[in-house]
Amino acid sequence: MTQHGTQTGTQGRSRRALISVSDKTGVVEFARQLEARGWEILSTGGTYQSIVQAGVAARQVSDVTGFPEMLDGRVKTLHPAVHGGILAVREPGHLGQLEAHGIGTIDLVCVNLYPFRETVARGAPDADVIDNIDIGGPAMIRSAAKNHAGVLVLVDPADYPVALQDEVSDAERRRLAAKAYRHTSEYDAAITAYLTGASDELPTALPETLTLNLTRAAQVRYGENPHQPGAIYRLGDATGPVIDAQVVAGKPMSFNNYADADAAWALCQELATQESALPEHAAVCVAVKHANPCGVAVAADVKTAWERARDADTLSVFGGVVAVSQPVTLEAAQATRGTFLEVLIAPEVTPDAAAWFAEKKPDLRVLVAAPAQGVSVLDVRPLTGGFAVQERDARPWDDLCPEVVTKREPTEQEWLDLRFAWATVKHARSNAVVLAKDGVTVGLGAGAVSRIWAAERAVANAGDKAQGSVLASEAFFPFDDVVRLAASVGVKAILQPGGAKRDPEVIAACNEQGISMVFTGSRHFKH
């Protein structure tokens, strides 16, 4: 154990703390308590002003270095009197060298960095962003972390109480050092991402070198299967509707719950933002099973939307994850009675609905989430020895140029259903085909190894409900077999990207069967 709480330590040296923070949360009280425990405090700039104005005795770093802050504050701590005091090993050889040069030790470094990421996030001019690249701060943090056996390094106000203990273990010092290096690593990655994105020679989203900063956001019992360890990580400072959702009832989330809830919420929000494609004030309900939609519906209210989505495939929805676009009332909550669900995610859950879920469905995880803001443009998927990285498929309907390629035009209702089916099939695993009618999915085929098999699964799922429906495919038809199958069960309109060699044959089959066909010109594979 290493003692550091008294004024003097080995060989009677006085203890000194260097405090220089951008995030001043709790720093005045921390400095006050250090002073009460006999520490000498060194500080700089705004931090110095804050603690001195609060009545804490402190010295400016310039008093120790013998040089004033220079170059608008760019140079103030880059000096042997600072880094020698931090880096010296607490043994006679190093301490003797310090004494020969009149340098005192620094035994605690409390530093957090210029608000670089915050400056970028508020859209500041490039010159302001560059000014917020901290140099002295990371240097002091790294020096202290390297010499953590003799120096406490604090980068997070949550760790201030550690420094006020009578003793800090070697393991705790090592933990703080690792946290410090993680802090500077993430900071450097943010700078790298900014500078790479600002280059005229490289695309913003896919630079030559890509650094992923992942911080554990949640622990789960295991991964996809019980024999696989698992955890949930946050990418940088990003927020996520599911990662940051409030759990208002039910058990802790599992690995698969997170994945399915994220998929359900993404489709729910895409449909909810297609205002021109939905009836006014319509509620959306999306049921997902194993990352694929299994029942999707719009209706005048959440209760009805849920009932329509549930009835679209009552077998598959069992054990599924459900997302809705509007607040869940007690009436809507009670409508889930009789159906086992893993997760329900909504923008709001009324208190009486949350209480009902807690009493009647204690195993159901009930989440309150906000619409996604600033979602990462990157879609990252693991490979053995690396990652496949692409820009996220975020193309909206309004970015398309739909073209009717058949003699028959879709009706107004069929257009609405085609847009609804297009959004749904875009979120289903390829190969995928969706049948929809009057704002509800009536048949889904996803994850098939051929397009006709996906269509056959969707048709079988729909049964008699296929009559008068529309069909959407996330990729083109290589043959006219899907058209002929669709016609045989009463499908009236088809939407697909187009672009196949046999498009003329496919269009001719539609005209022969009296079916409308719309080309979008945009494929949406999802693997």
- All residues at 6 or more sequence positions from 140 whose CB lies less than 8 Å from its CB, including other chains: 18, 20, 77, 82, 83, 86, 109, 111
What span, in angstroms and rounded, lies between the C-alpha atoms of 400 and 519? 10
Choosing from 24, 94, 146, 179, which is the catalytic residue?
Answer: 146
Is residue 343 helix, strand or coil? strand
What span, in angstroms and rounded, lies between the C-alpha atoms of 360 and 353? 10
Q: Is 289 a catalytic residue?
A: no
- All residues at 6 or more sequence positions from 227 whose CB lies less than 8 Å from its CB, including other chains: none
Task: Retrieve residue 2's tokens.
Answer: 């290493």
Residue closest to 478 by CA, chosen among 500, 450, 510, 447: 500
Helix (H) or strand (E) holding 24: none
Q: What is the b/e burial string over 499-509, where b = at least 16 CB atoms within 10 angstroms of the residue's CB?
A: ebeebeebbeb
Is residue 93 helix, strand or coil? helix
Q: What is the DSSP letter of 347?
A: S
What span, in angstroms and rounded, lies between the C-alpha atoms of 335 and 332? 5
Q: Is 4 a catalytic residue?
A: no
Phi, psi dihedrals of residue 345, rounded to the nearest 5°: -125, 130
Helix (H) or strand (E) holding 199: none
Q: How far apart are the first and last CA of the chain?
A: 53
Whether the CB-CB separation of 253 and 284 falls below 8 Å is answered with: no
Alpha helices of 54-206 — where are they, by DSSP H? Answer: 61-65, 80-87, 92-100, 116-121, 126-131, 136-146, 160-163, 170-197
Alpha helices of 116-169 — where are they, by DSSP H? Answer: 116-121, 126-131, 136-146, 160-163
Choosing from 290, 426, 524, 526, which is the catalytic residue?
Answer: 290
Classify residue 82 by burial, with Cβ atoms within 10 Å: 0-12, 13-18, 19+: buried
Dihedral Cα 299, 303, 308, 312, nearest 10 deg = 140
What span, in angstroms and rounded, lies between the C-alpha atoms of 452 and 100? 84
Catalytically active residues, by annotation: 146, 290
